[in-house]
Amino acid sequence: MKWSSFIAANGLFAPIHAGLLRFGCSRLTVQRLDPLVNPGQIPSTHLHQIIGGDSFNASMDAKSHDIPKLSTCTTCQFTEDLSNYWTAVLYFKAKNGTFKRVPQRAQQGMEGTQGGMVVYYMTDALFETQQKSKVTAFKPGFRMLVGEVAYRDREQARDFRQLTYICMQNEGTREPETLHFPTKPCPAGIMANHRFPTCWDGVNLDSPNHRDHVAYPQTGTFESGGKCPSTHPVRLPQILLETVWDTKAFNNKADWPADGSQPFVWSSGDATGYSTHADYVFGWKDDSLQKAMDANNYVSAPTLKTQTIAQQNKCQVPDMVKEDFDSWLTKLPGDIMVH
Ligand SMILES: *[C@@H]1O[C@H](CO)[C@@H](O)[C@H](O)[C@H]1NC(C)=O
Ligand SMILES: *[C@@H]1O[C@H](CO)[C@@H](O)[C@H](O)[C@H]1NC(C)=O
């Protein structure tokens, strides 16, 4: 059994050993904004769902935009986490060609959270109850992107390790993981998993494609304790984002395409799932993340301040784009074609 299903099956329990955080964050906003790829552009190309601190904006310059200082609240359980995390949005494409946004569902134990994701920071593999390895927390101004919006096949998708989907039969399902969208209806929803690279060049807070300053371990994986390459020697915490897309309203096979294909598409126009991507802009206060990674923490951390789910849900940013993304739409937001 995988560790995450162990967590789901057993609930959250006594601390065992160091360095793992798991926490819920509700929706901050759903908008066509992308301060990393389309900075300053209102609207950006495709729709995103965004969590984290309310300093989120169309433009978040690494030097001038001081995230902890400019934020007044966060949608995350740990109030020192004012970072932002975002992914594309899932749509259902009906037989008549119209699109409907798929809602997001809170995970067990986090009921009441409006939309959003579950975030992990790990020092070792998720199923290792002993989180014991040393990691260097991200620095102010750090940001990165994982995945490639243009990808449409399996060979391309192999460039990124562990960007996966789980077809949830029930709340505890954590396998198998696929690189493509599930091909059958998933009774408890589709979980999208985004695991970020864990090796840093130690110098650049960003890079032109937002990817080259980070890398995967040279051999093996983060999970197998693989060593970072000499070009990217600094070991980072592994960030994992879990998003549960609540497909319940769309699981009737009679509503699915007659050719046997599956009906879900990313807001970026991808019906395969291979273009799955996620963005991260670091914004923890002071050294709160490093301290939490260094101490004997498991899931939660006594050094971190927390807030209630009701408080998380209250944090929002203004709607800057003002477009309808929620009715049955004849086109995806931004007139994105499925391609
Ligand atoms: C976003 O940026 C604009 C332009 O700099 C600014 O006027 C606005 O107050 C910012 N919004 C938030 C929520 O910080
Ligand atoms: C298209 O199909 C959906 C799902 O069956 C339905 O709710 C919607 O009203 C239809 N739209 C049109 C324009 O027929």
Domain boundary assignment for the chain: 19-158+197-245+262-339
Pocket flag, ligand 2, residue 94 (CB < 6 Å): yes
Confidence of residue 37 (pLDDT cuts 50, 70, 90): very high
pLDDT at 13 over 50: no
**118 bridge partner residues:** 24, 242
Distance (angstroms) between ligand 2 centre and the Cα of 188 equals 24
Q: Which amino acid is at 295?
A: A
Question: What is residue 317's predicted lDDT score, i.e. its pLDDT?
Answer: 98
H-run or E-run covering 24: strand 20-25
Length of the chain: 339
Question: What is residue 239's predicted lDDT score, i.e. its pLDDT?
Answer: 98
pLDDT at 16 over 60: no
Pocket flag, ligand 1, residue 29 (CB < 6 Å): no
Residue nearest atom 8 in ligand 2 by C-alpha distance: 328
Mean pLDDT confidence for 274-287 = 98
Residue nearest atom 1 in ligand 1 by C-alpha distance: 57
Ranking 3-7, 30-34, 35-39, 191-195 by mean pLDDT, the lowest is 3-7
195-247 pLDDT tens trace: 999 999 999 999 999 999 999 999 989 999 999 999 999 999 999 999 999 99
Question: What is residue 30's predicted lDDT score, i.e. its pLDDT?
Answer: 98
82-98 pLDDT tens trace: 999 999 999 999 999 99
How far is residue 332's CA from residue 266's CA, in Å, rounded to a whole number?
A: 9
CB atoms within 10 A of CB 298: 19
Q: What burial class does residue 156 get, using C-beta atoms within 10 Å of its C-beta: 0-12 exposed, 13-18 middle, 19+ buried?
A: middle
Distance (angstroms) between ligand 2 centre and the Cα of 98 equals 7
H-run or E-run covering 239: strand 238-245
Confidence of residue 146 (pLDDT cuts 50, 70, 90): very high
Nearest ligand 2 atom to the CA of 330 is 13
Question: What is residue 18's predicted lDDT score, i.e. its pLDDT?
Answer: 55
Ranking 62-71, 297-306, 321-330 by mean pLDDT, the lowest is 297-306
Mean pLDDT confidence for 124-151 = 90
Residue nearest atom 12 in ligand 2 by C-alpha distance: 96
Mean pLDDT confidence for 45-52 = 98
pLDDT at 23 over 70: yes
Q: How far is CA 164 from the centre of its chain?
A: 11
The number of helices, as runs of H, and strands, as runs of E, in the chain is 5, 18
Nearest ligand 1 atom to the CA of 55 is 14
Distance (angstroms) between ligand 2 centre and the Cα of 33 equals 28
Distance (angstroms) between ligand 2 centre and the Cα of 337 equals 18
Question: What is residue 126's predicted lDDT score, i.e. its pLDDT?
Answer: 82
pLDDT at 6 over 60: no
Pocket flag, ligand 1, residue 57 (CB < 6 Å): yes
Question: What is residue 11's predicted lDDT score, i.e. its pLDDT?
Answer: 43
How far is residue 194's CA from residue 51's CA, in Å, rounded to a whole number?
A: 14
How far is residue 287's CA from residue 296's CA, in Å, rounded to a whole number?
A: 16
Mean pLDDT confidence for 131-150 = 94
Alpha-carbon torsion angle 248, 108, 53, 212, nearest 10:
-80
How far is residue 42's CA from residue 59's CA, in Å, rounded to a whole number?
A: 9
Pocket flag, ligand 1, residue 317 (CB < 6 Å): yes
For the chain, the average pLDDT equals 93
